[in-house]
Amino acid sequence: MGRIGNIKERKNKQDSKKASVYTKMARLIAVAVKEGGTDPEYNAALKAAIDKAKVNNMPNDNIDRAIKKASGDNDGQNFEQIIYEGYGPAGVAVIVEVLSDNRNRTAGEVRHLFDKCGGNLGTSGCVSYLFDRKGQLIIEKNDQYIEDELMMIALDSGAEDFVDESDAYVIMTAPEDLHQIKGKLEAASIHILEAETVYVPQTQVKLNEEDSTKMAKLVDLLEDNDDVQEVHHNWEQTL
């Protein structure tokens, strides 16, 4: 299976969990506003958060409310960015990115989910060395784009790699070049479906049916948690 999965499947999953997704996006926006202000033209983190919220079908009114709320007292909430590392079934490496206003609560919840699905929460650095931090741009395939031309534009813009997935093109960049390359592609009238920094596994682990079921449950339960923003792993999923 490709590194990004199936676009339609991902969209359906997002739509089925709208309330939770909107909560996650509002937190991401709140952190970006606190760090750099309310103007996305001068706050790259906020622009990225808004773009991500739109990809997740968050209405503009909800985005505007999230920005206004974050620019006020934010109800006394201060969200902290935390990264947890651990092992899923059969030793699959898992990285969980979190935005939490209560570190102790979140740590307990994440640990419980790992234990419940046959894994265990590890210490900082226990699996991150198995991943490379990269910028990732996703372009949904359509008749407008000619693959060779798109690849040349991406590489000329400074991209490190261009991958043809089943229903999308994936452009990999150095993390620090992500937004600059995104701007160059958009200037060339190329629509970017997603743009974010990700953990790319250096190798992938195959699981038997039983462990695959446990791993899928772990990913779903983690993604259902309001504090969890992203889940990365080196499980080689098959169609």
CA–CA separation, 213 and 210 (whole Å): 5
Asked if residue 219 has pLDDT above 70, the reply is: yes
Rounded CA separation 37/68 (Å): 11
pLDDT at residue 202 is higher than 80: yes
Tokens describing residue 95: 């990285």
Average pLDDT value over all residues in the chain? 90
Asked whether 105 and 129 are in contact (CB, 8 A), the reply is no
Question: 171 — phi, psi (to 5°)?
Answer: -110, 125
Instruction: Please check the confidence at residue 10 and state whether its pLDDT lies above 70.
Output: no
Q: Residues with Cβ < 8 Å from 112, sequence gap 6 or more?
A: none
Give the span between the Cα atoms of 183 and 188, in whole angstroms.
Answer: 9
Tens of pLDDT along 77-132?
688 999 999 999 999 999 999 999 999 999 999 999 999 999 999 999 999 999 99
Q: Summarize pLDDT for 42-81 with one digit per residue, the tens.
A: 998 899 899 889 888 899 999 999 999 888 765 556 889 9
Tell me whether strands 228-233 and 93-100 are parallel, antiparallel or unpaired.
antiparallel
Of the ranges 11-15, 135-139, 158-162, which one carries the lowest mean pLDDT score?
Answer: 11-15
SS (H, E, C) the chain: CCCCCCHHHHHHHHHHCHHHHHHHHHHHHHHHHHHHCCCCCCCHHHHHHHHHHHHCCCCHHHHHHHHHHHHCCHHHCCCEEEEEEEECHHHCEEEEEEEECCHHHHHHHHHHHHHHCCCEECCCCCCHHHEEEEEEEEEECCCCCCHHHHHHHHHHCCCCEEEECCCEEEEEECHHHHHHHHHHHHHCCCCCCEEEEEEEECCCECCCHHHHHHHHHHHHHHHHCCCEEEEEECECCCC
Comparing 90-94, 135-139, 164-168, the range with the smallest average pLDDT is 164-168
Does the structural domain 7-76 have CATH classification 3.30.450.20?
no
Count of residues making up the chain: 239
pLDDT category, 7, cuts 50, 70, 90? low
Model confidence band, residue 1 (pLDDT cutoffs 50, 70, 90): very low
Mean pLDDT in residue range 15-29 = 83
147 to each of 14, 137, 157, 178, how far by Cα in Å?
27, 15, 15, 20
